[in-house]
């Protein structure tokens, strides 16, 4: 579920502990600790662990210019080594030996480190000429594109994107690596260009044919809106690479890399095949009951050592808050690795609704707010709502109970859902979680 829903749950659980509520009157804000704990699993994943993930393959098809934070990066001709093939770069130099057939423009570009033949085909030729306003012998120009080979001869192909083969080859390599070494982590970076625009591309894993396909898509705005209608030219739109080993992908839709950030894909060998693990750094150790208990124990020891009288209730409430997060996420599709390190894999969720579901989030947040109001009501010397505690609890939970009932009814109807569909939703769920803060300013 969304971060605030978890956070609110922690705060709500804390209000059930009278000593914590009483401490507020003395200006003690310890009651916030369980709320923090309830948010901690996502915090650990998204704000800490994500950055410490170890990548076996770092795939950056379009390196960014430092200081401009946009691709392409300007490089020298001499740095275009075979490993740089298909990556998106920008060269600066003088043009010579210009040949223009009307369909294909080629010239030699020379900078202070060497020369390379540049080719611009079809639409790229048109774009290049229109942006430069024509090209004459000896002109100083800057050209973007990628390195390729015509036989043995290196060629710099003018383009507004890298060649998809760069990504396809590396992902295929990662799958084989996972087969041989048991596991592989791949980080695929996104392509960010000037004006906060992005080049979208898709990675499709076809296990049946042992093929990794990559398709270059349009230029998009951050929100996902395409800015161009013309498709990417044929010769650099599509690429496929074959793997030596078998792999499966349960989730049928291709992985889309667009705005915001790249993605991380895990591959793990299971028996004789390699399986895909989506966002491998998320909902693993952090989303487990065991870690929750451990972190609560640490809190207890620290507080007890300081002689705090709140050590026991605070640690207990914090553990419950942490666990509430795990339970709430388990209502969704992807599930979590519940008893890490004793369990190795994520346990699939109950599929009551996607974790981003407005209904589930709202009803849970409403329930938790209701608990807070009910509990705090009795912390006031003369409770403003003069209802017995049980009745008040029932009253505040009624709307949420109705909404949950609706979700369960829906779930009963959809139980026959195809496994791929469920897998798809699981992936969408975590993707959405990753993008959750984007609207907030």
Partner 1 sequence: MGPLGVVLWTMFGVAVGLGFSWMPGFHVYNVIALLAVTGGAITFIPQEAFPFFVLGALVSFAYSSVISTVYFSVADDTMIFMLFPTQRYLVTGRGHEAVLMTLLGALAGSVILAASMPVMPLILPFLRDILNQFITVFLSALVVFMFMSEWLKMGEREENRLKRFLKAWSQILGGLFVFLASGLLGFVVLNTDLLPTTVAYVRLTPLFLGFFGLPWVLVNLLSGLPVGEQDTSDEVGTDWRGLLSGVFGGALGGYMAAFFPLITGGMGALVAGHITSQRGDDTFMVSQGANRFIYYVGAFLFLFLPAASLTRGSAAWLVSSIYQPKTYQEYVYSIGALLLASGVSFIGTLALSKLVARIVGRWFKQISLAVAALLVAIAWALTGPMGVAVMLVAALIGTTSVFFNTRRSYCLGVLILPVLISMTGYTGVAMKLLGLGV
Partner 2 sequence: MSAEDRLRVLLEDLYSRGAKPRRKVNLKLLAAVSVILSVAGLAVIVALGQAAQAPLVRISDVYGNFLMNYATVRVRGKVTSIPYVDNSTGRLLIRFPVDDGTGSMLLYIYSPLSAEALRRGLIPLPGDVVDAEVQVRVRETFTYGIVQALSAFRIERVGGEPIPVKTLKPGMAETLVVVEGEAARIREVGSGVLIDLDTGAGTVEVLVPKFISFMDRRLYGELASLQPGARLRVTGVVYLYKGSSPEVVPRRPGDVEVLGAPRVVEATVSQLPGLEGERVRLTVRFAGIEYVKEERGYRLLVVDSTGRAEARVSREVMERVDPFDAFSSPILVEGRVSGGVLVIESAKPLGRWNGSTVPLGEVTAAWKGRIVAVEGEVVSVRSLGSVAVATLRSGGAELRLFMPGSVYSGVKDKLVEGARVKVAGYVDVYKGQVEVVVYTPLGVRQ
Binding residues for partner 2 (CB under 8 A): 25-27, 65-70, 72, 90, 92, 127-128, 130-133, 139-144, 158, 160, 193-195, 197, 219, 227-228, 379-382
Nearer to partner 1, 238 or 260 (CB): 260
Inter-axis angle of helices 3-14 and 358-377, to 10 degrees? 20
3-state SS assignment for residue 201: strand
Distances (CA, A) of 386 to 21, 204, 255, 377, 382: 19, 61, 55, 9, 9
Binder to partner 1 among 141, 376, 407, 431 (CB under 8 A)? 376
Q: Which DSSP category does 72 fall into?
A: P
Residue 223 touches which member of partner 2, partner 1, none, C-beta under 5-8 Å by kind? partner 1
Q: Please name the residues in contact with 340: beta carbons below 8 A apart, sequence gap of 6 or more.
A: 284, 285, 288, 290, 291
- Stated as kind and residue range, the H or E segment containing 124 is helix 122-132
Least distance (Å) between residue 152 CB and partner 1: 32
Nearer to partner 2, 225 or 418 (CB): 225
CA distance 22 to 17: 9
Least distance (Å) between residue 83 CB and partner 2: 23
Residue 441 touches which member of partner 2, partner 1, none, C-beta under 5-8 Å by kind? partner 1
CA distance 322 to 325: 5
Residue 313 touches which member of partner 2, partner 1, none, C-beta under 5-8 Å by kind? none
Binder to partner 1 among 377, 411, 421, 424 (CB under 8 A)? 377
Residue 5 touches which member of partner 1, partner 2, none, C-beta under 5-8 Å by kind? partner 1
Least distance (Å) between residue 304 CB and partner 2: 25
Q: Which of residues 12-51 bind partner 1 (CB under 8 A)?
A: 24-25, 27, 29, 31-32, 35-36, 39, 43, 46-48, 51
Least distance (Å) between residue 92 CB and partner 1: 18
Burial 376-389 (b: 16+ CB within 10 A, else e): ebeeeeeeeeeeee
Contact string 193-232 vs partner 1 (x = CB under 8 A): -xxx------------------------xxx-x-x-----
Tell me what percent of the chain is helix, strand and coil, each rounded to the nearest 5. 40, 25, 35
Contact string 111-150 vs partner 1 (x = CB under 8 A): ----------------------------------------
Q: What is the DSSP string of 317-350?
A: HHHHHHHHHHHHHHTSSS-B-TTTTT--SPBP--
Q: Which DSSP category does 357 fall into?
A: -
The yes or no reply on residue 357 touching partner 1 (CB under 8 A) is yes
Please choose, from the candidates 89, 66, 63, 64, the residue with its C-alpha nearest in 3D space to the C-alpha of residue 78.
89
Least distance (Å) between residue 313 CB and partner 1: 16
Distances (CA, A) of 106 to 56, 95, 98, 112, 367: 38, 10, 6, 20, 67
Nearer to partner 1, 48 or 394 (CB): 48
Nearer to partner 2, 160 or 423 (CB): 160
Q: How far is CA 321 from the centre of its chain?
A: 25
User: Which residues would be at the binding site for partner 1 (CB under 8 A)?
Assistant: 2-5, 7-8, 11, 24-25, 27, 29, 31-32, 35-36, 39, 43, 46-48, 51-54, 60, 64, 68-70, 189, 194-196, 221-223, 225, 227, 261-262, 356-358, 361-362, 365-366, 373, 376-377, 379-380, 384-385, 432, 435-441
């Amino acid at each position: 579920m969304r971060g605030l829903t978890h956070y609110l749950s922690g705060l709500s659980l804390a209000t059930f502990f009278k000593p914590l509520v009483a401490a507020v009157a003395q200006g003690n804000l310890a009651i916030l600790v369980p709320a923090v704990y309830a948010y901690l699993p996502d915090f650990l994943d998204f704000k800490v662990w994500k950055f410490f993930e170890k990548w076996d393959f770092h795939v950056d098809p379009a390196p960014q210019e430092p200081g401009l934070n946009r691709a392409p990066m300007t490089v020298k001709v001499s740095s275009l080594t075979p490993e740089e093939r298909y990556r998106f770069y920008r060269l600066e130099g003088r043009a010579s030996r210009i040949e223009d057939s009307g369909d294909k423009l080629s010239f030699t570009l020379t900078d202070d480190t060497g020369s390379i033949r540049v080719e611009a085909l079809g639409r790229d030729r048109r774009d290049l000429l229109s942006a430069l306003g024509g090209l004459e012998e000896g002109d100083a120009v800057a050209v973007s594109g990628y390195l390729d080979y015509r036989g043995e001869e290196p060629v710099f192909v003018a383009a507004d994107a890298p060649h998809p083969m760069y990504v396809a080859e590396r992902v295929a390599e990662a799958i084989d690596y996972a087969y041989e070494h048991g596991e592989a982590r791949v980080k695929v970076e996104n392509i960010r260009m000037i004006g906060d625009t992005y080049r979208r591309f898709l990675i499709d894993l076809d296990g049946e044919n042992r093929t990794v396909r990559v398709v270059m898509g349009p230029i998009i705005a951050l929100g996902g809106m395409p800015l161009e209608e013309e498709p990417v030219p044929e010769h650099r739109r599509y690429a496929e690479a074959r793997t030596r080993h078998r792999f499966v992908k349960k989730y049928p839709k291709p992985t889309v890399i667009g705005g915001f950030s790249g993605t991380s894909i895990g591959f793990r060998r299971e028996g004789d095949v390699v399986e895909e693990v989506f966002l491998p750094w998320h909902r693993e150790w952090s989303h487990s009951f065991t870690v929750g208990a451990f972190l609560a124990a640490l809190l207890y020891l620290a507080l007890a050592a300081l002689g705090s009288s709140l050590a026991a209730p605070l640690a207990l409430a914090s553990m419950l808050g942490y666990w509430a997060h795990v339970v709430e996420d388990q209502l969704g599709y992807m599930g979590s690795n519940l008893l890490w390190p004793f369990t190795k894999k994520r346990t699939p969720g109950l599929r009551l609704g996607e974790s981003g579901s407005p209904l589930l989030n709202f009803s849970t947040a409403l329930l938790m707010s209701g608990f807070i109001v009910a509990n705090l009501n009795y912390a006031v010397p003369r409770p403003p709502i003069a209802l017995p505690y049980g009745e008040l609890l029932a009253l505040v939970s009624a709307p949420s109970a109705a909404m949950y009932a609706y979700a369960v009814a829906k779930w009963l109807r959809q139980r026959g859902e195809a496994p791929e569909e469920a897998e798809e939703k699981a992936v969408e769920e975590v993707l959405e979680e990753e993008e959750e803060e984007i609207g907030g300013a």
